[in-house]
A = this chain, B = another copy of it.
Amino acid sequence: MDFCKDSSAGYLANHMARLFALGLAERIRPLGLTPGQFPALLELWEKDGQSQKDLVAKLDVEQATLANTLARMERDALILRRPHPGDGRVQQIWLTEKARALRTPALEAAMKTNANALGAMNAGEQAEFLRLMRLAIAALRGERG
């Protein structure tokens, strides 16, 4: 059977994602952030006070994964969980001042990592690359729910 890892989309996707995460980790470590916190922060910088369920829906991550990530973020004083006034099941997630202040440097770090990764592509190729990744994501998501 002919199977070459360098012609396997899945193999390349895994390799690429690991390198992206390492590059980002290096850049945001001085800020006290980790790559897994980034997606949650992006949503919370947009609007905090959301419930865990709200975030889960937007991030396409399992509820348990997010619960653990939020626990680490609370430990690191990036967020506060406060009970929802009208529904005792819900915890609202609020950013700390510390987390708010990290927005600009964190986004800069992410943009630098992206720019480095795409540095060898022209503008058309970059756009095409993003488009094809979105296509693959849609196809893979379709397979599941």
Report which A residues bind B (CB closer than 8 A). 1, 3, 5-24, 35, 38-39, 42, 60-61, 103-104, 107-108, 110-111, 113-114, 116-121, 125-126, 128-130, 132-141, 143-144
Contact = CB atoms under 8 A, between A and B. Distances in A.
How many copies, total? 2
B134 A132 contact: no
A125 B138 CA distance: 15
Given A22-B140, A132-B132, 7 more contacts: A1-B108, A5-B39, A9-B114, A9-B129, A14-B17, A23-B140, A117-B139
A144 to B, nearest CB: 7
A129 B133 CA distance: 8
Q: Interface on chain A toward B: helix, strand, loop, or mixed SS? A: helix
Tell me which of A3, A6, A113 has the highest count of chain B C-beta atoms within 10 A of its own C-beta: A3
A135 to B, nearest CB: 5
Contacts of A140: 16, 19-20, 22-23, 116-117
Nearest to A24: B10
